[in-house]
Amino acid sequence: MANALPKPVQRLINEFARLPGIGPKSAARLTFYLLRVGDEQAVELADALRDLVERTQFCSVCFNITEADPCELCSDPNRDDTLLCVVEEPLDVLAIERSRAFHGRYHVLHGAISPVEGVGPEDLRIEELLLRVGQSHFQELILATNPTLEGESTALYLQRRLGDTVPKLTRLARGLPVGGDLEYTDEITLGRALEGRQTL
């Protein structure tokens, strides 16, 4: 049976479908949307993708995404050199920066340990972290991995590997979201909120 779609259309559908969270139907919708809106938007998308590949890189210090090496955050002399926050992904850096509550340095692991997905410690930027910690004078290292099974496993692994190399090793607090109702909170979150309660 002959393919009813031209090869360039099928190729774009296939490429969109390889992206996380995009299934075959969504990939087809995106492709046909680009065909419908005309050349200008499709060319802009192609230029943005080319720009992404050609102009971005990983910072050689923290492994965040950047145009210049070292990145803006690593180059900023006003940041606290005694604090290091370890995150899973570059998007986590953006989230923490939006809070405006942290003014230290970052280290991006680029994932979390997940044996199910075949991701081990050697697939992450853990050795670079250990080397960096050994060569710096951090007073506190904050493990800001996600509160998932993979994030917890990664934090536990880092805790074992780091040992006593930093004076203070901390983990982000967990608890109830602002505006949330207790009756709709899962038992793990509620349990951690009770464990992490504070004196008033």
Chain segment 77-116, per-residue pLDDT in tens: 999 999 999 999 999 999 999 999 999 999 999 999 999 9
Residue, of 36 and 173, whose pLDDT is higher: 36
Query: What is the per-residue pLDDT for 1?
Result: 38
The CATH homologous superfamily of the domain defined by 7-55: RecR Domain 1 (1.10.8.420)
Query: What is the per-residue pLDDT for 172?
Result: 87
* Burial profile 59-75: b = 16 or more Cβ within 10 angstroms, e = fewer: bebbbbbbeeeebebbe
Q: Are both 7-55 and 73-171 of the same fold? A: no
CA 40 to chain centre: 32
pLDDT in tens, 118-160: 999 999 999 999 999 999 999 999 999 998 899 999 999 999 9
Ranges of each domain in the chain: 7-55, 73-171
Partner residues linked to 107 by β-bridges: 86
Q: Are 166 and 133 in contact (CB under 8 A)?
A: yes
Whole-model pTM?
0.84
The CATH topology of domain 73-171 is Dna Topoisomerase Vi A Subunit; Chain: A, domain 2 (3.40.1360)
Query: What is the per-residue pLDDT for 200?
Result: 62
